[in-house]
Amino acid sequence: MTPTPGTATARAYPNIALVKYWGKRDEELILPVAGSLSLTLDALPTTTTVRLAPDAEADAFALNDAPQTGEAAARVSRFLDRVRGLAGSGARAVVDSRNEAPTGAGLASSASGFAALATAAARAYGLELAPRELSRLARRGSGSAARSIVPGVAVWHAGDDDAGSFAEPVPAPELRMVIATVDTAQKAVSSRAAMRRTALTSPFFPAWITSTEESLAAMLEACAAGDFTRIGRITEAHAMRMHAVIQSCDPPIRYLAPASVALFDRIAALRGEGLEAYGTADAGPNVCAIVRPEQAEELADELRGLGGRLGLGAEAVRVVGPGPGA
């Protein structure tokens, strides 16, 4: 939808990885050390409008109506430079972004943010990009944004170079995700900095890379077979491995809070009671659990009960499903 030439609006949704992206082998191109796989959600989108402003001397970026300066604005401007390079344009732009997810709380706001920005900016500057090219472009803003271009379950191929590193859809069984928000505060160490520290200081990093490759291959098989139990077991084991390698940095980083650990314990206990769910957590304390659609509300009720005892509000727990691409 392009209401006027030079203006475009796009909406993109966050994604939660079941096989995580943690570490780059090329920081400039944002090539990951291994592939990953995620579920694009149907909640908490980012909506971004890009309007070309040929007379302006600089780009302008506002997030939730607040004008941004410093690194946040510079990062958007560097991204627009890339789009301008592809389009052969020198025009500056006004970028207006609206985020329904709390920024920096481990709910993948940079994924929805750069997926929406890539899509809107490509259109505003008149680029006609196929989904694969759009995914590659979004990747340059934030690695995980490559996956938010794609609806539902997405695999991000690590690739050997820029052209080979993109996300595309993969068939998978119907899943729901129950998100338990433990804390919405900005995290102390950004994913980008923490990834770099992990690669530079963790003695376990080489094993993390090979285990991620193995997890992804097994996950793709499990998705193709529609094997929920196998998908779940890989998801939870892999998430624990990511947090283990992050904790093994020097100085160490720990994203999980006591409430996160209590949620993981409860999810494991529920499996013993016939409610089959598996937990994961990104670079933050919030816990997401995958579950079959027919058991999603029961799981949400259980986690709400525990959340209440942990001091989390009733609104902390929500059920989300697979969402659309950008």
| Choices 50-58, 119-127, 138-146, 312-320; region in contact with ligand 2P0 by CB under 6 A | 138-146
Shortest distance (Å) from residue 96 CB to ligand 2P0: 21
Q: Which of 10, 30, 83, 122 binds ligand 2P0 (CB under 6 A)?
A: 30
Q: Which residue is nearest to ligand 2P0 (CB)?
A: 143
Shortest distance (Å) from residue 258 CB to ligand 2P0: 20
Which of 89/181 has CB closer to ligand 2P0?
A: 181
> What residues from 297 to 326 belong to the interface with ligand 2P0 (CB under 6 A)?
none
Instruction: Tell which residue, 237, 256, 235, has the closest CA to residue 246.
Output: 256
CB 118, CB 99: distance < 8 Å: no
DSSP code of residue 4? S
> What residues from 173 to 232 belong to the interface with ligand 2P0 (CB under 6 A)?
191-192
144 touches ligand 2P0 by CB under 6 A: yes
Shortest distance (Å) from residue 244 CB to ligand 2P0: 13
| Choices 16-24, 40-48, 69-77, 213-221; region in contact with ligand 2P0 by CB under 6 A | 16-24
236 touches ligand 2P0 by CB under 6 A: no
Instruction: Tell which residue, 126, 112, 113, 51, has the closest CA to residue 83.
Output: 126
89 touches ligand 2P0 by CB under 6 A: no
Please state, in angstroms and rounded to a whole number, the distance separating the CA atoms of residues 145 and 161. 17
Shortest distance (Å) from residue 276 CB to ligand 2P0: 23
The token duo for 210 is: 């090979």
- Phi/psi for 224 (5° steps) reads -60, -35
Shortest distance (Å) from residue 90 CB to ligand 2P0: 26
235 touches ligand 2P0 by CB under 6 A: no
Query: Is-cis flag, bond preceding 102, omega within 30?
Result: no
CB 283, CB 253: distance < 8 Å: no
Contact letters (x/-) for ligand 2P0, 98-127, by CB under 6 A? ------------xx----------------
Q: Which of 13, 21, 166, 278 binds ligand 2P0 (CB under 6 A)?
A: 21
| Choices 50-58, 136-144, 170-178, 200-208; region in contact with ligand 2P0 by CB under 6 A | 136-144
Please state, in angstroms and rounded to a whole number, the distance separating the CA atoms of residues 128 and 42. 25
Count of helices and strands (H, E) across the chain: 9, 15
Shortest distance (Å) from residue 190 CB to ligand 2P0: 8
CB 22, CB 241: distance < 8 Å: no
Q: Which of 8, 12, 17, 277 binds ligand 2P0 (CB under 6 A)?
A: 17
Shortest distance (Å) from residue 191 CB to ligand 2P0: 4
Helix ranges restricted to H, 169-274: 191-201, 205-225, 228-247, 258-272
Q: Which of 116, 120, 166, 282 binds ligand 2P0 (CB under 6 A)?
A: 282
Instruction: Tell which residue, 324, 289, 321, 323, has the closest CA to residue 306.
Output: 289
Burial 225-264, CB ≥16 within 10 A → b, else e: eeebeebbebbbebbebbbebbebbeeebebbbebbebbb
Binding site for ligand 2P0 (CB under 6 A): 17, 20-22, 30, 36, 110-111, 142-144, 191-192, 282-283
